[in-house]
Chains A and B, each alone.
Chain A
Amino acid sequence: MESIISKLHPLERSVLPVLLKEKEISAIAKLSNLQEIEVMRALQWLENKNVLKINVDKKKIVDLEENGIKYKKEGLPEKRLLQSLTEEFQSLGEIAKKTRLSTEELNACIGILRRKVAIEIDKGKDLMLKLGPQGKKLLKDGSFEEKFLTKDFPLDFDLIQDIDKFAFDELKKRKGLLKIEEKKTTTVTLTELGKKLASTKIDGEVINRLTMGMLKTGSWKGKNFRAYDVEINVPKVYRGKKHFVNEAVEYIKRIWLELGFKEMSGNYVQSAFWDLDALFVPQDHPAREMQDTFYLEGKAKLPKFWEKVKAVHENGANTGSKGWQYTFSKEETEKVLLRTHTTVLSAQTISNLKKEDLPAKFFSVNKVFRNESLDWKHLFEFYQVEGIVIDPNANMKHLKGYLREFYKKMGYPNVRMRPAHFPYTEPSVEVDVYHPIKKQWVELGGAGIFRPEVVKPLLGFECPVLAWGQGMARIIAEYWKITDIRDLYKNDLKQIKEMKAWIK
């Protein structure tokens, strides 16, 4: 009891004493001098504290409409008509003058009175009316409708008695007289605790919010602070936030930086020369066809050494290779496209290196493009993790070593290499990691050692270059339990705000 009292909000304090007298919310509001919405808030808090129960009743209410109000005051028009009649026939014109009823009203009234056999009618040249015997009785006793209208409105629909049903139905049929509304009434019932609390005298003087003014004047001294419900749920606030994919990308980048790799960057729009030919992809390779690669209009300018690449394709030139044994097409190599892999950056990076720069290690975590229609497992642009190690002493074992180290930091301690094929690497390797939850090997991408046909024209001399290019969408999507890959770039702001951070 004490602890409840100490936590009472000023609104609750105002409402409580009233509850012994009033049960209905608008009445409580009136008596406590609060707004209904404030009362409602206080009542809800009190309900949470088990002080009372809020009952919400839905009731059908019958109320008067415009005509209803008018007739209640002036009497029903048929009554007025009836009053104007005598036992002699009178013309309709005369009656209209006397009653000041409109033609429409008159017609309606005549209809009603005829049904009640209250009048007699002579259909001569002019319509003539006179009071019938039944009419006299009606004048004396009053109609059911008349009596119904004398009630206090609004009426509780459920409380209309059978005897009044006829009158209600008749009046309801008429225009603008009665309406039925649904009304919510909120009442409260005090619990045992509530009854005690309401009859306890509660000292109103507690500090609710500590203000600057109180601190300046010291008016807080000697007063009690209202205790809060510190367990209460509070409205959410959101932080400003990095896009979650960038969080993951940053994490991956950091791994390579920690391993001593330099970041590569470059254009998305590239020539076929850099994206494919410099990597010794034969010009009739199926992947170069329109359905896999986005092409742009125009012709790219080629670097000076392009003819070295051409020669390597055609006959291997000075690389010790036979080459592809075909005629290299300049037109094909000048095509402009959206890079299909970040390996294009590796090619460009190698072409800028000198002997004294070695050994060197580079990485990139960036976008690549494939001509795909969007669906739940395909994107037309996605991230690739690219890495190269240009080291005269590099070998197969190192390739496995670097990849293992990377994936260990990504949370996959076991790495497996299988033979594979890519036009620009030899040996070529498919990299699988062991998925600790799914308990199976998962394929993540390609790796290998660049072919001499790739390295020599770019670097000017032979040197082993370890290389890998791996997709990351799968790992990123899995972390956030995303099953439809398109959700990575859906940009639902609510989802972005509420996502947990990337913690590995």
Chain B
Amino acid sequence: MPTIILNKEVFEKLVGKKLPLDQLKDRISMLGTDLEKIEGNEIEVEIFPNRPDLLSEQGFARAFSSFIGVKTGLRKYDVKKSGLKVYVDKNIKNIRPYTVCAIIRGLKFDDEKIREIVQVQEKLHTTFCRNRKKAAIGIYPLENIKMPIYFKAMKSKEIKFRPLESEIIMDGLQILSKHPKGRDYAHLLEGLEMFPVFMDSNQEILSLTPIINSHLTGKVTKKTKDIFIEFSGFDLEAQKVGLNMLVTIFAEMGGKIESLEVIYPDKTIVTPNLTPSKMKLDLTYVNKLLGLSLKEKEVKDLLERMGYGYEKEEVLVPAYRVDILHQVDLAEDIAIAYGYENFEETIPNVATIGEENSLEKLQNKIRDILIGLRLLEVKNYHLITNEDLTIKMQSKNKVVALKNSLGEHNHLRNSILPSLLKVLKDNQHNEYPQDIFELGRTFNFDKKEETGVKEEDNLAIMLCHDKSDYTEIKQVLDALISALGLEYKIKESNQNSFISGRAGEIIVQNTKIGMIGEISPEVLELWGLVVPAVALEINLETIFKIIISN
């Protein structure tokens, strides 16, 4: 999740009140943002992804000021019509179809403000804009631009301009392969023949979006007073709100917002539009969900502390909020304003009956039996290497692989025995006997399953010491099965990883429930083990079904 760094002085000026440090820390946490730290003049705050409108000093201060009761209620922002136009070419439709734009006039930039703008643009790009995939923002000094502006697609070779941070003019393909920003974002234009650009009426390219602005027409400096903003991408509604977040930040900096007409082949929209949206609020619903009995007046106050307006059962939602989908979102903000710390803790007097999962119960029982036999339970990961599952077990069974594991553990185990052999391998410095067991899940392909993978809980036991032999492991099996009130037979059969003639299938009521035998010296050697081991593995689901049916 993104963090932003606030200049404490600027922040306090914007908020309109200076709080003692303790209170400041507490209030930031209770507003619903994670305070990372306050050091000197810097406040570092983590912003949750549902509140991109807080990703700037201005946005955060706006919310905070309302929350602590300094400037509450809906903020009003004036929007004047500029009369200027942006034309959207029909050839952009399948490339990057939407743009929304705005003009801000009368800004006074200094180094600090430029830093703030770069920060907010970058934070919005990585979060709200999904690393520029969903949308991207461009900001240009108005003075170098001849209106109207055109948003269109051009052949990559024909796009020629000097990008920011470059000394030379490049074409579209050169930017993608040579410019640092081009290389970072080249994947966003991969496979396209035509690239999206903004161009002014002097035929000057303002930017190759979503990559980089032109040095000539797209560089904001301390001299810049008026700017043109575009927010372009694939999600028109999100872009509109995103633009509103940006223009209100500039308005908080002292700029005047002007709208312009964005003319699509089939429609014209005027952006930005800062009219708050309206949402019905059911007071009973809110009180029931929160367990409170708030009056309308109280709810109005609480809403205003979260920056909303309230008129006759309707909430006026600021045009920069993206996260209000349902009145439940308003209920949460009411709860935040009320203070999470102020809710009582109660457990309702409702009777329900607790119940443990039956297979888990059986597993606990088996665990008890085996502990009584002085075995030691181990616990391994379900993820393991392919080599451990196949080569080292001399098995050719198909194993379920992960597509994208960051580590070497990139397969799901189909048996617990490899996990136990791994434990033995890692414990050769410890004393013997090493008699261990594990209860856990195994995975195999099965087309009948919803996901194509069948999961079963298994039990595996392994006894390892100088004199371990078939008799010993069969004694354990005997003790276990008879404790479960069942009878079993062993049918001799050769099994992967076992010595042939010393292994068999375990049969209970004519159903195979597992296998038992002496681990073959080849397998022991592959694991680097020099102490004999005997083992069994049992499918618990099968045994559970048999017990239930009895």
Contacts and interface: CB of A to CB of B under 8 A. Distances in A.
Contact of A451 (B237, B326, B343, B380): B326
A90 to B, nearest CB: 65
Contacts of A260: 351-354
A: contact size bracket: 35 or more
A44 interface: no
Interface string A392-435: 01111110111011000000000111111101001111100000
B467 interface: no
B50 A263 contact: no
Interface in B29-67: 29-32, 34, 48-51
Contact of B355 (A262, A296, A380, A420): A262
Chief secondary structure at chain B's binding surface:
loop
A242 to B, nearest CB: 5
Contacts of A296: 400-403, 451-453
A419 B354 contact: no
B379 interface: yes
B377 to A, nearest CB: 4
Chief secondary structure at chain A's binding surface:
mixed
Contact of A396 (B290, B409, B426, B450): B290
B374 A239 contact: yes
A372 interface: yes
Interface stretch (B75-83, B161-169, B197-205, B357-365): B357-365
Given A268-B455, A491-B378, A284 B130 contact: yes
Interface in A136-179: none
A415 B455 CA distance: 37
Interface string B312-338: 000000000000011111011001100
Nearest to B432: A493
Contacts of A299: 452
A301 interface: yes
Contact of A263 (B31, B329, B335, B360): B360
A428 B354 contact: no
A271 B451 contact: yes
Nearest to A371: B406
Nearest to A241: B376
A328 interface: no
Contacts, number: 255
A295 B352 contact: no
Nearest to B450: A301
Given A242-B371, A418-B30, A401 B345 contact: yes
Given A400-B345, A402-B347, A452 B381 contact: no
A325 interface: yes
Contacts of B328: 426, 451-452
Contacts of B34: 430
A426 B406 CA distance: 33
A395 B290 contact: yes
Interface string B380-413: 1111000000000000000011111111010010
A256 interface: yes
B379 A245 contact: yes
B520 interface: no
B370 A267 contact: no
A298 B430 CA distance: 43
A425 B238 CA distance: 21
B291 interface: yes
A253 B50 CA distance: 33
Interface in A12-52: none
Given A391-B350, A427-B331, A420 B379 contact: no
A361 B377 contact: no
A268 B336 contact: no
B288 interface: yes
Contact of A452 (B326, B357, B377, B400): B326
A489 B381 contact: yes
A476 to B, nearest CB: 12
A316 B326 CA distance: 9
Contacts of A89: none
Contacts of A480: none
Contacts of B431: 494
B528 to A, nearest CB: 16
A262 B353 contact: yes
Given A393-B348, A417-B340, A492-B426, A243 B377 contact: yes
Contacts of B288: 393, 395, 464
Contacts of A380: 381, 383, 405-407, 409
24 contacts: A258-B354, A260-B352, A269-B400, A271-B450, A286-B49, A295-B402, A296-B400, A299-B452, A301-B450, A321-B325, A323-B325, A325-B235, A361-B352, A380-B409, A395-B290, A396-B289, A400-B344, A402-B347, A419-B340, A420-B32, A427-B331, A427-B336, A449-B289, A494-B427
Interface of A: 238-243, 245-246, 250, 253, 256-265, 267-271, 284-286, 290-291, 294-301, 316, 319-326, 336, 338, 359-361, 367, 369, 371-374, 380-381, 391, 393-398, 400-402, 404-405, 415-421, 423, 426-430, 449, 451-453, 464, 489-494, 496-497
Which 4 pairs of residues, A with B, have the shortest CB-CB distance? A419-B32, A395-B291, A421-B48, A240-B371
Given A301-B451, A416-B341, A426-B329, 18 more contacts: A240-B371, A241-B371, A262-B355, A268-B443, A269-B412, A269-B453, A298-B453, A325-B235, A336-B453, A367-B382, A373-B407, A393-B350, A396-B289, A417-B340, A417-B341, A421-B32, A451-B326, A492-B427
